[in-house]
Amino acid sequence: MLFSVIIPVYNGEKFIDEAIRSVLEQTETDWELVVMNDGSADNTAAHLDAYRNDPRIRVLSQTNQGVSAARNNGIKAARGEYYAFLDADDIWFKNHLAAMRTLIEKYPEAGLYATFAKIELKNGKSVDSCTYFENKGADVFLDDFFEEYVRDKNVKMFALTTTCISRGAFQKAGGFPVGCAMGEDLELTLRAAAYYPVALSAACTAVYRAVNSTASKDRAFDPEWKFFDTVQALYDDEEIPAKKRENLKKLMAWFTMRRCRHYLVGGQRQKARRAFAETDKAAVSRRDLLVNRILLLLPSGLVARIFAIRWRGKA
């Protein structure tokens, strides 16, 4: 079982060495590393030169095209059966790939695997425990990830840094969407989960530095998420079980509620009203409907203040 580790990097001279070292220190030895330099303008290339003599590591370069294109192009050069992703500013603990192997060997029929990451927040605090796994075992197997996501939003307890996907699931999902400002990793997760089961582990195997994340700087969700425009193809795909498609619709209704709130925060009241009108009201909770109806009546500035206090990173 060969893992292909994909690290995209753009202007990462300050942290790329630490990320690569965390791969080199893995207790699991059956891996290759593909580092894609996405047109860095700093000294990232010089740092990467130090690893070119390691036969396990391939350093590739492209003009700056964004993280999705960098990951997709890195995977084109990958030889492994499973793709594991590590952001250049995050690190793995030594047991990460070993934990992935354990999950894969236990649940070979799954296509998407993930563990938990310690999250370092912008305010200097950290999230060290996984809420989803309270009162559960060491791992879970989800034939219908959407059903569980609708029931418990904490199931999305993993970051891309702790995600591993089979070659077949990645191809079926169509790779990372290029040109997506935010949410490209979530879209890949949902597309893969439409066709394959998902296996999750409570093991903490990485550090995810949310302080450096695009999502953590000003918003946690992009109301212009392209997946809203393309998800219909999944609804129509009869290869996906009917129940799974219905659960995906319910999940997307919840995301549409988030879309409405984020439009309001951005002062885009007409778009917020349109998003609310388009929501399948029967698929979301009465509480979410009531909250959004109230927010639609409030001035955008007040909604933004409420968001900053109550929903920061969660709305």
The pLDDT assigned to 215 comes to 43
Considering the domain architecture, whether residues 265 and 140 belong to the same structural domain is answered as no
The pLDDT assigned to 308 comes to 75
Considering the domain architecture, whether residues 164 and 48 belong to the same structural domain is answered as yes
Considering the domain architecture, whether residues 106 and 30 belong to the same structural domain is answered as yes
Per-residue pLDDT for 158 more than 70? yes
Query: What per-residue string of b and e applies to 132-158 under the rule 16 or more CB within 10 Å gives b?
Result: bbeeeeebbebebbbbbbbeeeebbbb
Q: φ and ψ at 162, to 5 degrees?
A: -115, 30
Per-residue pLDDT for 213 more than 90? no
d(CA 142, CA 164): 15
Rg, C-alpha atoms of the chain: 20
pLDDT tens-digit map of 177-188: 987 777 899 999
Q: φ and ψ at 17, to 5 degrees?
A: -65, -40
Considering the domain architecture, whether residues 205 and 268 belong to the same structural domain is answered as no
Query: What per-residue string of b and e applies to 178-200 under the rule 16 or more CB within 10 Å gives b?
Result: eebebbbbbbbbbbbbbbbbbbb
The pLDDT assigned to 301 comes to 84
Side-chain-side CA neighbours of 255 within 13 Å: the count stands at: 23
d(CA 16, CA 36): 11
Query: How does the average pLDDT of the chain come out, rounded?
Result: 91
- Does the model's pTM come out above 0.75? yes
Provide the 10 A C-beta neighbour count for residue 107: 19
pLDDT tens-digit map of 288-307: 899 999 999 998 888 888 87
pLDDT tens-digit map of 36-76: 999 999 999 999 999 999 999 999 999 999 999 999 999 99
Q: What is the pLDDT confidence band of residue 122, given thresholds at 50, 70 and 90?
A: low
Domain end, chosen from 193, 217, 241, is at: 217
Per-residue pLDDT for 222 more than 60? yes
Angle between helices 242-265 and 184-195 in degrees, nearest 10? 170
Number of structural domains (the chain) is: 2
Q: What is the pLDDT confidence band of residue 7, given thresholds at 50, 70 and 90?
A: very high
Considering the domain architecture, whether residues 84 and 133 belong to the same structural domain is answered as yes
Q: What tokens were used for 124?
A: 């200097």
Residue 249's alpha-carbon distances to 77, 228, 233, in angstroms, are 35, 11, 12
Cβ neighbours of residue 30 closer than 8 Å, sequence gap 6 or more: 1, 2, 3
Domain range for 173 is 3-217
Considering the domain architecture, whether residues 44 and 190 belong to the same structural domain is answered as yes
Considering the domain architecture, whether residues 73 and 136 belong to the same structural domain is answered as yes
Helix (H, G, I), strand (E, B) or coil at 303: helix
Domain end, chosen from 217, 251, 285, is at: 217
